[in-house]
Structure 1
Amino acid sequence: GRPLPGPREAPDDASGDTVTDLAALVRAVEDAARRAGIGRQPSPWLSPLPERVRLEPRTAAGGSVVDVPAIPFGVTDLPSVQSREPLTADLVKGGHLYLAGTSRSGRSTALRTFAGSLAAGCSPFDVHLYAIDCGAGALLPMVSLPHCGAVVTRDQLDRCERLLTALGAEVSRRQQLLAEAGFASLSEQRAAVAAADRLPWMVLLLDRWEGFVGAFDSYDYGRLVDMALRLLREGAAVGLRAVFTGDRTGLTGQVSTVFDRRLVLRMADPNDYGYAGLQERQVPASMPPGRVLEVVAPGVPPRESQIGLLADDPSGTAQVAALQDIARAAATRYGRLPRGRRPIHVDELPVRATYREAMELDPDFMPPSALWSLVGVGGDTLAPVGVDLLNEGPGFVVGGPARSGRSTTLRTIAESLLDPAVAGGLVPVVLVTPRRSPLRMLAGRRGVLGLLTADSTAEDLEDAIGSEHRYAVLVDDAELLDETELDDALRDVLRTARDGEHALVVGGTTEDLGRGYRGFIADARRSRSGVLLSVDSPDDGDLFGLRLPRNASLGGPAGRGLFVRQGTTAQIQVALPPPLNG
């Protein structure tokens, strides 16, 4: 036979001579498009989500509206329908939101963007904003927003406790109000009443939940942590919405049950995604700052979104500047809100306050009785704080260690009683100073009935009071008069005060004042009204029968103290008395 033919040589792909059917079809389509003048068409597939998205917040309609619009704070990718939509939070139909992520994943930026979008798109008549910053202070610029009542940090124990207490009281008030009116929700109330009577939505932002727990879990047996969780549970039904950030600790345990929605940023450990219901294969290889995943349903791929920025420049200074621009625009648009429609304030106590500054905080203040006296400044909305010796006395005790401002407090009280512009007229005073005291500088002043010392007798006190029916006796270093002749005379002042208009104010060291169980000091303590200055031990509360937290730091600048009014406490800054020449 004939020899077999040799094997064919394979075509050289590199030469480009091989033409497949697909290549021929593509070339024919290109030629046809070129002859028809048709340009290159866009890809049918969406381009990847950008790593930075500039948010363009909508502008609020102005005034009050029944239905508050959803708050956009990013962009969501919808690959199944080849589209995108705004990433929003709906105050009306939604619930609490938790953003989980590690450090530098965009948590604080997300809250700042959320606040800016809320302030631009919602009226302060409709939404009030509050924040607890347990991070690096990224939320502090929010205080300039007219919607914002307070931004407190984790090192401000008193303000944090006051904010949670105030919000808790507002939730209780709303529960009662809605129940009495027959409304099932805040949305029903807002739709049924006039614009001026609509209750605003309340939004609480908290940056770094793990920082909040770390700061307050050991304070008073975790009472503030329990208050926050109770607030979220009970507040949802009456218009409170929370947006918290934190690490994986917010995805587990008791706190995880209060959040209706979870957005997951980049986590420190790949295993942490499992706490949010995400499988490792569902997590993109790249998670830039602000990129979030959200589980929408079992068996459905998670939604991928990018949280927006308030400015093109992602730096903190640029974002703060953009937020301040929004704040200025809102303040110009809405002006100063009426007193009854402002958000709840939790003002920071000043380091120093004078007598005149304290009284000028509330020029319209009307003392409840003629025996009202200024003590200092305090309150959630900073205002003059004083004692009504007629209804909250007749005893008032000022306790504290040496050089804590006891005598200054007594002199401020004396100046207030002697001020004819306060409480409708001058109240005469008797000053008792067993040793050198600033009270002695008031001797000879109009209204000072007498100045008694350690050598004075009961008759001296009786002569000084004379026929006065309305008066006050102020005693400095009261412990030096225990078991002296003046002891019984001062007890008589307290005894007769129940039927007259007079009172007894005593000052001394906390330790000495709490030592006796009889005498005028013990009788004065029974009113459970006074001031504890420079508290350095929880046992100081025993002076008024109070239980103070064991690990609380209640110190502060000179004049900082606990104001006790019939067993209830509040922090104040004692007002400095006016100069003697005016």
Structure 2
Amino acid sequence: MLRSLVAGLAARVDPQHLTFILIDFKGGAAFTTLDQLPHTIGTLSNLEPSLAFRALQALNAELKRRQQCFADAGEGIDNIDAYLATNPAEPMPRLLLVIDEFAQLAKEYPDVLSGLVSLGAVGRTLGVHMILATQRPDGVVNDDILANTNMRTALRVQSREQSSNVIGVPLAASIGREQKGRAYIKLGEEDITPIQTALVTGVSGSGCSQDLHVDPMVLGNAPEEHAIRASSGEASDMDVLIQWITEANEQLGFGSARRVWPEPLSDHVELVLEHCRPTTHREQQVASSSGSTILDVALFDDPEHQRQYVSGWRFATENLVLAGMPGSGTSSTLAALALRIADTYAPGEADIVILDVFTASLDRLEKLAHVRGYAGPGSTNESRQLQKRVLRYIAAELERRSARPHDAFPPLFVLVDGFATLREGYSDVADTPLLESFYQAWAKGPAMGIHCVATTTRLKALPPAISDLTGQKWLYQLADTSEYHPTVDKDNHPANLPGRFVSTSRAHHGHVGLPDDIDAAVTAINEFWGIDGLTPLVQEFPKRVGPEQVAGYLASGNEAWQIPVGINEADLTPYVLEAFAGEHVLVSGPARSGKSTMLAAIHQMLVQQSPNTKILVGAPRRSPLCQMLPGVMSPEQLVDVVETQSAAPEPCIVMIDDAHLVADESQVLARVLTLPDTPLMFIVAGRNNDLRTLYSHWTGQIRKSRLGVLLVPDADYDGDLLGVRLPRHPAATMSEARGYGCQNGAATLIQGVTVSTEGHR
């Protein structure tokens, strides 16, 4: 009956005077092919709460639009007939909402049905009308529906009560099973009439018979059936009628009717990048159009204004939180933001640092020329060390920019994937300052050009320092739906699609655009700018440091020597020991820890940077130094030369490897080391376990300076060699030439300077 009614109306009235919105809760089967009518401007099937909520918003917006049109048309225009009498320039067709199986709608989404009924009541004078249909009227045909439906039709129903619920009398229950299409129509309290409805889904046939069959128009028993069954693939009467209606409207020049709402957001939206040509073109796209303070990455749905628009992260005003379960699209959103930044700014005009601590889903972005620092996931020392370095860089950059408020800095975009993971991984007391510094950057950064965006699986994992200061939140599919409250209505939750979210600022749904191939987009953007990559702002802690990297920091003066011995883990700057007159340097470590190669590196820097300084080198025969440097003396030879040199006025550097094996039976070394104004500075290396047990050894005088390097140390005991306390859990895994530079009672994690053992002689 519904199909016949809709098709019949479409055949008699053009789409400039009548349009349909078809709502079928049973999956859309009731209105198959009717959506092809030029009159049909919207369909809804298998309702999701968000789609129903969207429809209500758009329909309410349509009522407001019509009311405004009436007001603009002049005084006294308060209904559609009066408005149409003014011959408006733009057609305003009547809008008919056809809702099949509203009982199911009432059961699952009663608020939606109530909203539709209220809308129909208000909308009649505005030209908005409604047809409700159901097979099960029990308990759903309430007073509101009865009050707002002045025409009611009951076909054959199962019980007298069902008939009475609809038309007020039990007559429809007496309709026989064979009386298909028989119904009772109620137009008033006493105006109830039996009718026979038409069938439009049958097949009239195409035979040439001229016989005319006439049935008596007496509504008694069912008339004899004469319908012709459709053969396979043959069009039904409704199919033919729809085709004729469509062709007739085209011939008459009727354009498409104005839609109440745009098409729903697509499952896939294309991110259009200026410097990357897409391989395919999707119907829904996101191109950059909002200006320099918004990163356009999403297509938004605005049913209240019956439109869709492109927008994104308003980074100039505040930071952004992306909350959603794994797979909901939060990480992809970070990728889209990074690509938009790189497509908009030249390398150097904007910098990106990435804390990819969740699933390494952003590792492909590390190749972007704009990415100046990347730290991946993991709990190993190396992973955490790089993560900490990124956090320290952010804090240092905030401090630098705060100290120079009038200087212009390029925007720094900080992308954090997995904030909950980051927070849990740095919950120890020792790591608290790092998180606190990040919270400071989150709070103060936007004013300084530092813009942060972070993903989280749970909003509750955000501390107030983040959550309370963030007005821009995009909520994707959340495991705990209570986290949508109170900013998002319970019927406005986003669909369970990767990339679909609802913005808390406007409660608009959005879908993030992505290119077809992220790797190809990265390559294309880099090729356009012609830059493979700038010097990283955040670098990994090196596993080897050569003399050429730190030699420029070596200096000798009247009061002290500046001796670079490696790279500081905290900021990757050269670590320099300052040795005043009478102070000496100790390098300790176990076998193959890099002691000998460090002495060789220091020797090389001294020769290059201070060529006039006399250097004496001694070591036992088995020391690697004997193979790496020329003129290495035996311990006995060295003792004799040191005794002579101690009386000379010019400065002299004495380098001794494997010092724990040098006995100093003559006590020359011990005596020279106690001279108050000795021109000699000793730089010696020895094995840590042995040095700790040589209580009366001459190296005890070296240790008193509390100056040197502890390579691959024993955290429990080696600190005593230089009077420092070593951390039990170093920030980086210990390896060759890695350890602690020690001076003034402080231990600093460094990668020590060394030379390669190959090619040195």
Which TM-score band applies after superposition, normalised by the shorter structure? Answer: 0.7 to 0.9
**Partner residue of 1:171 out of 393, 398, 402:** 398
Structure-to-structure mapping, 1:68-83, within 5 angstroms: 68-83=292-307
Please tell me whether residue 410 in structure 1 is matched to residue 602 in structure 2: no
Hey, what does 2:58 align to over in structure 1? none
**Post-superposition shift, 1:537?**
2.8
1:346 and 1:282, CA in 2 relative to 1: closer, same or farther beyond 3 A? Answer: same
**Aligned counterpart, 2:19:** none
Q: Partner residue of 2:199? A: 15
Counterpart in 1 of 2:648?
467
Q: Which residue of 2 aligns with 1:118?
A: 341
Kindly state the Cα deviation for residue 472 of structure 1 after the two structures are TM-superposed. Answer: 1.3
- Residue number in structure 2 paired with 1:348: 540
Distance 2:700 2:594 in 1: 22
Q: Give, in whole Å, the separation in 1 of the partners of 2:716 and 2:474.
A: 42
Return closer, same or farther for 1:388/1:146 CA change in 2, 3 Å cut-off: same
Correspondence for 1:273: 484
RMSD of aligned C-alpha atoms? 4.0
Q: In the aligned structure 2, how far is the partner of 1:362 from the partner of 1:70?
A: 43
Q: Aligned in 2, Cα 1:411/1:32: closer, same or farther, shift over 3 Å?
A: closer
Which of 293, 317, 334 lines up with 2:502 in the alignment? 293
Verify the 8 A CA contact 1:345 1:380 in the aligned structure 2.
no
Q: 1:567-582 alignment to 2 at 5 Å?
A: 567=746, 569-572=748-751, 574-577=753-756, 579=758
Could you say if the C-alpha distance between residues 293 and 540 of structure 1 is closer, same or farther in structure 2, counting changes exceeding 3 Å? Answer: farther
Q: Distance in 2 between matches of 1:86 and 1:568?
A: 54
Against the structure 1 CA distance between its residues 539 and 145, is the aligned structure 2 distance closer, same or farther, given a 3 Å change threshold? farther
1:257 aligns with 2:435: no
C-alpha spacing 1:258/1:427, structure 2 compared with 1 (3 Å): farther
Between the aligned partners of 1:213 and 1:482, the Cα distance in structure 2 is 53
Residues of 1 paired with 2:428 and 2:310: CA distance?
41
Asked whether 1:88 is paired with 2:287, we answer no
Give matches, 1:413-492, under 5 Å: 413-417=602-606, 419=607, 422-425=608-611, 427-433=613-619, 436-441=622-627, 444-445=630-631, 450-453=633-636, 460-463=641-644, 467=648, 469-479=650-660, 485-492=667-674
The code of the aligned residue for 2:524 comes to D
Q: CA deviation at 1:405?
A: 1.9
Q: Quick one: structure 1 residues 71 and 59, their matched pair in 2 at CA, closer, same or farther if it must change by over 3 Å?
A: farther
1:13 & 1:393 partners in 2: Cα distance? 114
- Going from structure 1 to structure 2, the CA distance change for 1:555 and 1:252 (only over 3 Å counts) comes to closer
Report the alpha carbon displacement of residue 242 of structure 1 after superposing the two structures with TM.
0.7
Q: Are the counterparts in 1 of residues 740 and 747 from structure 2 also a CA contact under 8 Å?
A: no
**Identity of matched residues, %:** 24
Cα distance change of structure 1 residues 386 and 320 upon mapping to structure 2, 3 Å threshold: same
User: Which one of the candidate residues 420, 426, 430 is aligned to 1:210?
Assistant: 420
The answer to whether the 8 Å contact 1:105/1:266 transfers is: yes
The letter of the residue matching 2:504 is V
Displacement of 1:460 in angstroms is 4.7
Secondary structure at the residue paired with 2:327? Answer: coil
Distance 1:233 1:540 in 2: 42
Contact 2:418 2:455 in 1 (8 A): yes
Select which of 670, 691, 715 maps to 1:537.
715
TM-score, normalised with respect to structure 1: 0.75
Matched, 1:327 2:526: yes
Q: Is the 8 A contact 2:501 2:510 kept in 1?
A: yes
Structure 2: distance between partners of 1:487 and 1:233: 59
Moved more, 459-468 or 96-105: 459-468
The letter of the residue matching 1:51 is D
Q: Give structure 2 stretches of 5+ with no counterpart.
A: 1-173, 176-183, 185-192, 202-216, 218-241, 277-290
Q: Aligned pair in 2 of structure 1 residues 319, 490: CA closer, same or farther (>3 Å)?
A: farther
Q: Which amino acid aligns with 1:467?
A: A
Alpha-carbon contact 2:577-2:707 (below 8 Å) kept: no
Tell me what 1:192 maps to.
none
Structure with the larger RCO, 1 or 2 (CA within 8 Å, 6+ apart): 1
Give the secondary structure class of the aligned counterpart of 1:462. helix
CA contact (8 A) 2:329 2:476 kept: yes
Partner SS for 1:576 = coil
- Conservation of the 8 A alpha-carbon contact between 2:653 and 2:682: yes
**Which SS does the other structure have where 1:15 is aligned?**
coil
Asked if the contact 1:292/1:306 (under 8 Å) is kept, the reply is yes
Q: Deviation at 1:483?
A: 8.9
Residue type matched to 1:433 in 2? Answer: A
1:219 and 1:552 in contact (8 A); partners too: no
Find the counterpart in structure 2 of residue 235 from structure 1: 445
Q: CA 1:518–1:172 in structure 2 vs 1: closer, same or farther (change >3 Å)? A: farther
1 CA distance for matches of 2:263 and 2:320?
28
Change (3 A) 1:260 1:109: same
Cα shift readout 1:226-251 (whole Å, capped 9, x = no counterpart): 33223323434322111111111444
- Deviations along 1:522-565, whole A, 9 cap, x unmatched? 55456554333224536645555555544345324423333446
| Whole-angstrom distance in 1 between the partners of 2:581 and 2:352 | 35
What is the aligned length? 509
1:46 aligns with 2:242: no
Deviation at 1:44, TM superposition (A): 3.0
Q: Find the aligned partners of 2:512 and 2:571 in 1 and give their Cα distance.
A: 35
* Contact 2:566–2:576 (Cα < 8 Å) also in 1: no
Gaps of 5+ in 1: 1-5, 19-25, 61-66, 179-188, 190-196, 313-317
SS in 1 for 2:309: strand
* 1:118–1:581 Cα change, 3 Å: closer
Q: 1:406 to 1:48 in 2, by over 3 A?
A: same
- The one-letter code matched in structure 2 to 1:273 is Y
Give, in angstroms, the shift of residue 132 of structure 1: 1.0
